[in-house]
């Protein structure tokens, strides 16, 4: 038997922006499909008209795009498929797996009150379940599924294992409301079936829904997808991740300047493991990702780990690609675009900038020396290191810089000799030199800066500062 090609989906409700939990769900689905030559589909679950907005949909698409999670084909709109959802409910009516229920709200409430008084289950048991069509009144009705009332249902979940529910805990849930509109639970199943979804990977807050959705698959005789309900993400204090813990939206992480590759690596590790591997590339993640590696207990969000991985990804990035991503970050945060000479400077300095930078803002602080131009205004800290004594020493350097061959070894050599001549250490000259070249206390090494700036600019900056 040939295996069906894998089809996964991410099905966000556009009632808010893309949060970290949703981004991780999308990422798991994307990795699972991409690692198996499958399809990753996107379905916008926009049936809650009051709370769904186009802005939220756009924010979700933007968040996925930033993370590099490309979906196959156009995004599906769940609301646009309502006719098909209704058609399936009618099919179930015709098949006898669903029925029309004419109970009024008052009758349902009376049922519940009595159940509460008798301490029996408040799950509504409609008296219309077995009433023949001929005996139906000409009144508004809802369509309910005929759920089994005895026995138990076991769903096997790739993460949770076998999960069993007593069927008496299932109610005859509504499929079509009295205005004929389909409910969300029906829409999800019909869409997953019609889209050919083979694997449903989502948050474990949907595990209970899986039992209700299972009724519809059974009623329609449809193939059931493989289920994987992933534990939610917790904050460092072991409570469900929320605003209290800091940034929770994907866009917030983008605005904080985390590189997408580092974010993908971190989110992949958040609740999934492959031995002891912490740092990996996209290609490795695609190759390694599987459902077995998903942990059963909630993972805790750890900003330090995220930053550590982001730093490693920045360090191995291709320089031109990195600049491109930094420019996208600037656009996303409404910062001014770089000039041509700033871009050139960044590219020339990138090897030294990308070492030990965990975020783009951190990298850009170090990049100040190529982003600024003469005359450089030193900040307070830098200005303080340029005292009269050190200005004097640096002034002695400029004639030597005119003739030295412009290599790291030679430059280190003359600065070390200068330090020795003044009975001081090379490290003691680095501060004032850094202040003259960058106007800042944070920058790449002075020799890296000199090599990037070149002879004329280096000498000019020292003369500006010490002249
Ligand atoms: N729309 C649901 C949500 O945003 C997801 C439903 C599903 O994955 O089945 O939580």
Domain of 408: which CATH number? Answer: 1.10.10.350
What pLDDT is stored for residue 2 in this prediction?
57
End-of-domain residue from the set 165, 196, 230? 230
Active site residues: 243
Q: Is the pLDDT of residue 66 over 70?
A: yes
pLDDT tens profile 189-224: 999 999 999 999 999 999 999 999 999 999 999 999
Is the C-beta atom of 112 inside 6 A of ligand 1?
no
Assess if residue 166 is contained within a domain.
Answer: yes
What pLDDT is stored for residue 467 in this prediction?
78
Distance 86 CA to ligand 1 centre (A): 20
The tokens for 398 are: 């400029």
Cβ contacts of 173 within 8 Å, gap of 6 or more:
144, 145, 147, 183, 185, 212, 215
Q: Is the pLDDT of residue 83 over 60?
A: yes
Residue 273 Cα distances to 30, 188, 278, 285, angstroms: 16, 29, 8, 10
What pLDDT is stored for residue 4 in this prediction?
82
What pLDDT is stored for residue 253 in this prediction?
96
Residue 36 and residue 224 in contact, taking contact as beta carbons nearer than 8 Å? no
Q: How far apart are CA 213 and CA 191, in angstroms?
A: 12
CATH number at residue 175: 3.40.50.620
Assess if residue 443 is contained within a domain.
Answer: yes
Mean pLDDT, rounded, for 326-343: 96
Assess if residue 295 is contained within a domain.
Answer: no
pLDDT tens profile 138-154: 999 999 999 999 999 99
Q: Is the pLDDT of residue 1 over 90?
A: no
Domain span at residue 175 reads 81-230
What pLDDT is stored for residue 3 in this prediction?
73
The tokens for 81 are: 């498929």
The tokens for 205 are: 């807050």
pLDDT bracket for residue 254 (50, 70, 90): very high
What pLDDT is stored for residue 246 in this prediction?
84
What pLDDT is stored for residue 437 in this prediction?
98
Is the C-beta atom of 439 inside 6 A of ligand 1?
no
pLDDT bracket for residue 243 (50, 70, 90): confident
Is the C-beta atom of 432 inside 6 A of ligand 1?
no
Assess if residue 353 is contained within a domain.
Answer: no
Residue 99 and residue 143 in contact, taking contact as beta carbons nearer than 8 Å? yes
pLDDT tens profile 425-441: 998 999 999 999 999 99
End-of-domain residue from the set 199, 230, 261? 230
The CA-based angle 267-270-272, given to 5 degrees, is 110
Is the C-beta atom of 45 inside 6 A of ligand 1?
yes
Distance 344 CA to ligand 1 centre (A): 45
Is the C-beta atom of 229 inside 6 A of ligand 1?
no
**CA-9 nearest atom, ligand 1:** 8
Q: How far apart are CA 266 and CA 256, in angstroms?
A: 15
Residue 128 and residue 100 in contact, taking contact as beta carbons nearer than 8 Å? yes
Q: How far apart are CA 295 and CA 229, in angstroms?
A: 10
Distance 12 CA to ligand 1 centre (A): 5
Distance 280 CA to ligand 1 centre (A): 28
Instruction: Record the pTM.
Output: 0.94
Q: What is the mean pLDDT of the chain?
A: 96
Distance 245 CA to ligand 1 centre (A): 23
What pLDDT is stored for residue 115 in this prediction?
95
Q: Strands 142-145 and 98-101: what pairing?
A: antiparallel
State whether residue 140 is helix, strand or coil.
coil
Q: Is the pLDDT of residue 353 over 80?
A: yes
Assess if residue 422 is contained within a domain.
Answer: yes
**CA-15 nearest atom, ligand 1:** 4
Assess if residue 306 is contained within a domain.
Answer: no
Q: Is the pLDDT of residue 446 over 90?
A: yes
Is the C-beta atom of 189 inside 6 A of ligand 1?
no
Mean pLDDT, rounded, for 43-71: 96
End-of-domain residue from the set 182, 200, 230? 230
Mean pLDDT, rounded, for 230-240: 93
What pLDDT is stored for residue 198 in this prediction?
98
Q: Whose CA is nearest to atom 5 of ligand 1?
A: 11
What pLDDT is stored for residue 29 in this prediction?
98
Is the C-beta atom of 232 inside 6 A of ligand 1?
no
Q: How far apart are CA 344 and CA 331, in angstroms?
A: 18
Is the C-beta atom of 325 inside 6 A of ligand 1?
no
Helices (H), ranges, 67-130: 82-95, 105-118
Distance of CA 92 to the CA centre of its chain: 38
Share of the chain above pLDDT 70, in %: 100
Distance 56 CA to ligand 1 centre (A): 15
Given ligand 1 and candidates 78, 195, 206, which is best to mutate, with the most ligand atoms within 8 Å of its CB? 206
Residue 192 and residue 9 in contact, taking contact as beta carbons nearer than 8 Å? yes
Helices (H), ranges, 354-467: 360-366, 368-371, 380-385, 388-403, 408-421, 426-438, 446-453, 455-466
Mean pLDDT, rounded, for 83-87: 98
Q: Exposure of 221 by Cβ count < 10 A (0-12 exposed, 13-18 middle, 19+ buried)?
A: exposed
Q: How many CB atoms lie within 10 A of CB 222?
A: 15
Q: How many CB atoms lie within 10 A of CB 441?
A: 16
Q: Is the pLDDT of residue 43 over 80?
A: yes
Mean pLDDT, rounded, for 253-263: 97
Q: How far apart are CA 213 and CA 186, in angstroms?
A: 7
Residue 353 and residue 314 in contact, taking contact as beta carbons nearer than 8 Å? no
Q: Is the pLDDT of residue 242 over 90?
A: no
Among 340, 303, 310, smallest CA distance to 325 is for 310
Q: What's the total number of domains in the chain?
A: 2
Assess if residue 337 is contained within a domain.
Answer: no
Assess if residue 260 is contained within a domain.
Answer: no
């Amino acid at each position: 038997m040939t295996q069906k090609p894998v089809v996964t989906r991410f099905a966000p409700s556009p009632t808010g922006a893309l949060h970290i939990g949703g981004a991780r769900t999308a990422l798991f689905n994307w990795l699972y499909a991409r690692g198996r030559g499958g399809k990753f589909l996107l379905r916008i679950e926009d049936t809650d008209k009051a709370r769904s907005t186009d802005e939220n949909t756009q924010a979700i698409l933007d968040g996925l795009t930033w993370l590099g999670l490309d979906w196959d084909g156009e995004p599906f709109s769940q609301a646009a498929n309502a006719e098909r959802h209704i058609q399936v409910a009618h099919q179930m009516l015709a098949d006898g797996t669903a029925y029309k229920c004419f109970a009024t709200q008052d009758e349902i409430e009376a049922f519940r009150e009595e159940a509460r008084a008798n301490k029996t289950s408040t799950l509504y048991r409609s008296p219309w379940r077995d009433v023949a069509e001929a005996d139906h009144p000409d009144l508004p009705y809802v369509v309910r599924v005929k759920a089994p009332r005895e026995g138990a249902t076991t769903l096997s979940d790739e993460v949770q294992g076998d999960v069993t529910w007593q069927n008496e805990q299932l109610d005859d849930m509504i499929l079509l409301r009295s205005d004929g509109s389909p409910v969300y639970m029906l829409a999800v199943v019909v869409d997953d079936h019609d889209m050919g979804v083979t694997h449903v990977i989502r948050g474990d807050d949907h595990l209970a829904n899986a039992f209700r959705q299972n009724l519809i698959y059974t009623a329609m005789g449809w193939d059931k997808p493989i289920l994987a309900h992933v534990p939610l993400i917790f904050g460092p204090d072991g409570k469900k991740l929320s605003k209290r813990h800091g940034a929770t939206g994907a866009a917030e992480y983008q605005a904080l300047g985390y590189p997408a590759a580092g974010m993908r690596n971190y989110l992949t590790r958040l609740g999934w493991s492959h031995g002891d591997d912490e740092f990996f590339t996209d290609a490795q993640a695609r190759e390694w990702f599987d459902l077995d590696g998903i942990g059963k207990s909630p993972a805790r969000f750890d900003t330090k780990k995220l930053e550590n991985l982001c730093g490693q990804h920045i360090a191995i990035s291709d320089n031109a690609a990195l600049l491109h991503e930094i420019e996208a970050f600037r656009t996303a945060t409404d910062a001014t675009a770089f000039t041509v000479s700033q871009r050139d400077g960044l590219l020339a300095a990138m090897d030294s900038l990308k070492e030990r930078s965990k975020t783009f803002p951190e990298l850009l602080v170090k990049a100040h020396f190529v982003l600024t131009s003469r005359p450089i205004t030193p900040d307070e800290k830098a200005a303080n290191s340029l005292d009269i004594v050190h200005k004097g020493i640096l002034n002695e350097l400029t004639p030597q810089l005119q003739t030295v061959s412009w290599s790291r070894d030679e430059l280190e050599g003359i600065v070390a000799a200068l330090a020795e001549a003044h009975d001081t250490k090379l490290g003691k000259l680095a501060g004032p030199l850094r202040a003259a070249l960058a106007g800042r206390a944070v920058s790449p090494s002075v020799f890296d800066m000199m090599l990037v700036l070149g002879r004329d600019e280096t000498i000019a900056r020292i003369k500006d500062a010490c002249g």
